Chain A
């Protein structure tokens, strides 16, 4: 597609349920990032994928969070046993392999945990 696609755009779930968020980056963007943005806050780094290299998971807040990416395609972020503090917008961004390049963001997945 022409841009970064994220789904679902909105997700309301009950505390304790698992959720899966999907990101489909721009073709050719070998780098992929996940960020969390709580209401009125800045962006919090979660995880970084670059091609087939081992991902940088240093931003994942707990072992309830995990993410996968197969090659240079779709990525999924999974949150197990959701808590109310997980409520946030989860943003995905892609980039070419060049460290000087810009990030291309999706519109985010808004997660609300009741």
Chain B
């Protein structure tokens, strides 16, 4: 069975400091992993994706994530937070075996302090 856990429902950082949003997954098979961002009253936008190529994935807006199979983690990081990063972030697992069973994490709300 597949599952995804976002370990923090809310993260608050100061502008210019690093961001870490944590995600752990469980999957019977090699999944594809994604991070999406949702700004208020908007749809979800892809930040980055892992599909069994390089384990360190770079995305848009300076975000990156590292796939660690031994830890079943796919944490999202950014070296320096910007005010515009304030949004909801979703970690997503897409098992190769079943296209319909995409699993979304419960989301992490990122707040940026000036």
**Residues of A that sit less than 8 Å from B by CB:** 4, 31, 33, 35, 41-43, 45, 48, 50, 56, 58, 91, 93, 95, 99-100, 102-108, 110
Q: Which of A31, A56, A93, A100 has the most CB of B within 10 A?
A: A100
Min C-beta distance of A75 to chain B, whole Å: 14
Do B105 and A42 touch (CB < 8 A)? yes
Can you name the residue of chain A whose Cβ is closest to the Cβ of B4? A42
- The number of chain B residues touching the other chain, given as a range, is 20 to 34
Q: Using Cβ atoms and an 8 Å threshold, which residues of chain B touch A103?
A: 34, 36, 44, 46, 92, 102
Supposing A42-B107, A105-B45 touch, asked if A100 and B94 sit within 8 A by C-beta, the answer is yes
Do A102 and B99 touch (CB < 8 A)? no
Q: How many pairs of residues, A versus B, come closer than 8 Å at their CB atoms?
A: 60
Q: Is B49 positioned at the interface, with any CB of A under 8 Å from its CB?
A: yes
Q: Using Cβ atoms and an 8 Å threshold, which residues of chain B touch A33?
A: 100, 102
Do B94 and A108 touch (CB < 8 A)? no
Q: Using Cβ atoms and an 8 Å threshold, which residues of chain B touch A48?
A: 99-100
8 Å CB contact of A43 from B96, B98, B104: B104
Q: Is B90 positioned at the interface, with any CB of A under 8 Å from its CB?
A: yes
Q: Is B32 positioned at the interface, with any CB of A under 8 Å from its CB?
A: yes
Additional 8 contacts, C-beta under 8 A, given A105-B43, A108-B43: A41-B107, A43-B104, A48-B100, A56-B100, A58-B100, A99-B32, A103-B92, A107-B41
Q: Using Cβ atoms and an 8 Å threshold, which residues of chain A touch B41?
A: 107, 110
Can you name the residue of chain B whose Cβ is closest to the Cβ of A31? B99
Q: Using Cβ atoms and an 8 Å threshold, which residues of chain B touch A99?
A: 32, 94-99
Q: Is B42 positioned at the interface, with any CB of A under 8 Å from its CB?
A: yes
Q: 6 shortest A-B CB distances, which residue pairs? A: A105-B43, A48-B100, A56-B100, A107-B43, A43-B104, A100-B32
Min C-beta distance of B9 to chain A, whole Å: 10
Q: Using Cβ atoms and an 8 Å threshold, which residues of chain A touch B46?
A: 102-104
Interface set, chain B 24-55, CB cutoff 8 A to A: 32, 34, 36, 41-46, 49, 51-52
CA distance A111 to B43 in the complex (A): 15
